[in-house]
Structures are given as C-alpha cells and as structure tokens.
Amino acid sequence: MSESFDLRDLVQAIGIRKYGEATVGVMLTGSFARGNAAPQSDVDLIVSSADIQSDGQRIFRHRGRLVILKIQSRGTLAAILVDPRSVCRYLTGLTHSVPLVDQDGFLRDLRDKARNFEWTAEMIVSAHREAALELIGWLEEVHKGVAGLESGDSGRMLQAAHGCSWGMLRVAQPYLRVLEVSDNTVVDDITAAVGSASRWSTLLRTAIGLTEARLSVRVKAGLELFCATSELAGSSFLPDELQMIEPSLAQIQEFLASHSRY
C-alpha cells in the first residue's frame, strides 16, 4: 500500500469507539490482504466486537480509496467455519485476512482455524443439502424462462437468465465444495472445478453473458444448464427433493424438444 494510504490512519478514521466498550477487532480482507490490490481496488475491512449483535455495512472514501466496512458480530464470523455456503464463499478470504486491531486475539484465532479447516463427513452432507435447496430455490426462474421464451417477455427472460446462470453457480459451488478466491474470480473458480471445457461450463458462459448470444439463446442455455446442474448434483438429492425437481426437468426437456429454433 502506498505511503499516502496508511492503514493506521484508516483505522483511526473508522472511529471504532462508537461500537461499544468491548474489545473491538478490525480485520483487513480482500485484495489488500492478499497483496494483489490494483490502483482501483476497494479496501475491505471487517469490524467486530462482543458488543455487536447485528450486522451492517458502511461505504465511504478515504484518501481517494473506496472503503467497504462490514460490521459483523463475532457469531457471524465464527459461523463461516460451520456453514458450508459460507465456507465456500469466505474461507479463503479469512485465511488471507490481516488483523489490524486484535487485542484479545479473537481474529487471529479465527484466521488460524480457517487455515486448518477440513471438510468433515457431516459438513459434506450439509453442503449437499445446501446445493439441493439452492437448486429448488431457482425453480420459479426456470419456469419464467419457459414462459418468457414462449411469450417473448424480456422481463421474464432476464430473470431466468440470472437465475439459471448465477444461481447454478451457487448450486455447483457447495456441491463440489469450491472455495472461491474472491467474488471477482468465482466464475473461473467453479468452472475450473467442473471442467473449463465441459458442457456445463460452456452452457454457463453462454447463459451468464460471456458470449455475444442474444437473450433468448442465453435463456435456452440457462434451461439446459439447470438440467446439467441437476444431473451434476443429482446423486445426493433426497426423494422429496427429486419430487420437486423432476417435473421441471421434464417440462424443460419437452419445451426444448419442441422449440429447437431458440
């Protein structure tokens, strides 16, 4: 970090006293913690203490830099290590974090636990449940995709394109237990785990908008991606989960078979 952007100066600018009388921790995360910040990179900070009971966020500028300050309870931070979705999204960031204020050692202890994290059998089962529930959660967007293609409704198609691309990323991630480096790399992280040249990854790139395909083609790719994601994670679905998913799979397959023009 440049001399004109001093972390000690930034910590003072936060005004941590307002978060209560308990020991306050301040932790640097993101690209500055990893050591690969670019000139336009944001500064990511987490403030936590035993007094903080609810989470929040402040965004401000300091010496020309955009600062993203997350205010998180200690319970929220500790939960990163036990919730499969949080593990996948935030564990890598936690392992690279830099405690700036940590008088009682809570943040250093949390970082050490993150660095020694291992998936247990129980956590893997929980990750599979997360994947199944995530997939079921996007069924509405799947149906909007079919309806949007039939009617030409761009609003429905836009929602479907999002749900059947970013949504499918968030299904594959816990199922495959992919630890993302950052939210900027999540597409590359997950497609690499599935296989960059795989049909799944090819469909994702079209559905998410990384090609020049028109909206209807993106939606069709997204519907196919939903089917491919169901197949990818299908071996772990419970019977009641399959009862939710299978009718939609049949509807998609019937629709695509009769509408090959998309």
Across residues 191-218, what is the average pLDDT?
A: 97
- Note whether 161 and 254 are same-domain residues: yes
Across residues 234-258, what is the average pLDDT?
A: 93
- 168 vs 235, higher pLDDT: 168
Q: Where are the beta strands (DSSP E) in 50-162?
A: 56-62, 65-71, 98-101
Q: How far apart are CA 120 and CA 17, in angstroms?
A: 39
Where a domain ends, among 59, 86, 115?
115
Q: What is the pLDDT of residue 13?
A: 74
Q: What is the pLDDT of residue 17?
A: 52
- Note whether 90 and 216 are same-domain residues: no
Q: What is the count of structural domains for the chain?
A: 2
- Note whether 134 and 213 are same-domain residues: yes
* Confidence label for 3 from pLDDT (cuts 50, 70 and 90): very low
Q: Are 176 and 161 within 8 A, CB to CB? A: no
% pLDDT > 70, the chain: 94
- Note whether 87 and 154 are same-domain residues: no
- Note whether 15 and 86 are same-domain residues: yes
Across residues 81-101, what is the average pLDDT?
A: 95
Q: What is the pLDDT of residue 7?
A: 74
- Note whether 12 and 108 are same-domain residues: yes
Its domain, for residue 159, covers: 121-258
- Note whether 176 and 93 are same-domain residues: no
Where a domain ends, among 115, 144, 175?
115
- Note whether 133 and 102 are same-domain residues: no
Q: How far apart are CA 238 and CA 236, in angstroms?
A: 7
Whole-prediction pTM: 0.88
Q: 11-25, 99-113, 196-210: which range is least confident on average?
A: 11-25
Would residue 164 count as lying in a domain? yes
- Note whether 65 and 82 are same-domain residues: yes
Q: Where are the beta strands (DSSP E) in 63-125?
A: 65-71, 98-101
